[in-house]
Amino acid sequence: MKKMVLCILLWLAVLPLKATGQSGDVIRLGGEEWVLMAKPIDYDSLLCRRMGDLLPENVSRSTGNYSGYTAFWEVRDGYLCLQRVEADVYDEVSKKESIRVYEVKDLQPIFAAYCRVGTIQARWFSGELRAGKGDLVRYVHDGFDRNMETERVLTVRSGKVLETQTYHNYRRAGLNLMKAQGEIVRRFPWNRFSEYQGERIIFSISDFQLTADGHFID
């Protein structure tokens, strides 16, 4: 039992190192900038490596942005197109940060196979992309596992945007397990069980299921 508890504690200690929320790219939809909860360039390993080689050595990377850059996108003529890439760089001499901007002309050597009439069309990408704006209604400290108040889901095939659906998310009031301990203590009839006052009581809850918005499933 002690070995099992030790393993669980070690697993919990290591977990935050692997599970880290990532900052997204930016996409312009309907004249507004949305958070793109994905990094489309990273879906092609060759483009990902070339993009990494393009960035300067003093690019500022963080656990929230492993790639070190933010790509800006738009939908033009029905295709997902790359507008520019921005990277934060740090000058060791001046001790200042600045933004390095790569326009389409700077990116063309990397994306030569996807250049069409002065644009870079993301023809390497197929799948669904989520764009969001507003407050966070759900957040998990792992990649892009989150939901925002308003989201648009783009269905993309070989760079062409086939469909866009809009969703409005909200948070329902439910049981917060982190606050459950205080609620149990408050509701426990201590006057009937005075012998337990001052004692440490451990409650165990198992074999239960929750909905996505935090409600128990009967």
3-state secondary structure 110-139: CCHHHEECCEEECCCCCEEEEEEEEEEEEE
Q: How many residues does the chain have?
A: 218
Q: What is the pLDDT of residue 5?
A: 44
Q: What is the pLDDT of residue 177?
A: 62
Q: What is the pLDDT of residue 9?
A: 42
Q: What is the pLDDT of residue 12?
A: 44
> Does residue 197 lie in a domain region?
no
> Does residue 196 lie in a domain region?
no
Tell me the average pLDDT across 122-140: 93
For the chain, report the end-to-end CA distance as a whole number of angstroms.
31
DSSP H or E stretch at residue 104: helix 104-107
| Contact in structure between 118 and 104 (CB atoms under 8 Å) | yes
DSSP H or E stretch at residue 106: helix 104-107
- The total number of structural domains in the chain stands at 1
Tell me the average pLDDT across 138-149: 86
> Does residue 159 lie in a domain region?
yes
DSSP H or E stretch at residue 97: strand 96-103
> Does residue 141 lie in a domain region?
yes
| Contact in structure between 85 and 71 (CB atoms under 8 Å) | yes
> Does residue 131 lie in a domain region?
yes
Q: What is the pLDDT of residue 76?
A: 96
Share of the chain above pLDDT 90, in %: 51
d(CA 71, CA 54) in angstroms, rounded, equals 13
d(CA 41, CA 82) in angstroms, rounded, equals 9
- Would you state the structure tokens that stand for residue 54, as one six-digit string? 């393009």
Full domain range(s) for residue 105: 19-168
> Does residue 86 lie in a domain region?
yes
d(CA 29, CA 208) in angstroms, rounded, equals 41
CA dihedral defined by 177, 181, 182, 184, rounded to 10 degrees? 110
Q: Which of 6-10, 18-22, 67-71, 190-194 has the lowest mean pLDDT?
A: 6-10
> Does residue 5 lie in a domain region?
no
Give residue-wise pLDDT tens across range 21-65.
Answer: 888 999 999 999 999 999 999 999 999 999 999 999 889 888 888
Q: What is the pLDDT of residue 145?
A: 85
Cα–Cα distances in angstroms (integers) from residue 100 to residues 39, 59, 151, 197, in the given order:
18, 9, 29, 62
Give residue-wise pLDDT tens across range 168-213.
Answer: 988 776 666 666 667 777 777 777 877 777 777 776 767 767 666 5
- With 0-12 / 13-18 / 19 or more C-beta atoms within 10 angstroms meaning exposed / middle / buried, residue 101 is exposed
d(CA 140, CA 21) in angstroms, rounded, equals 7
> Does residue 163 lie in a domain region?
yes
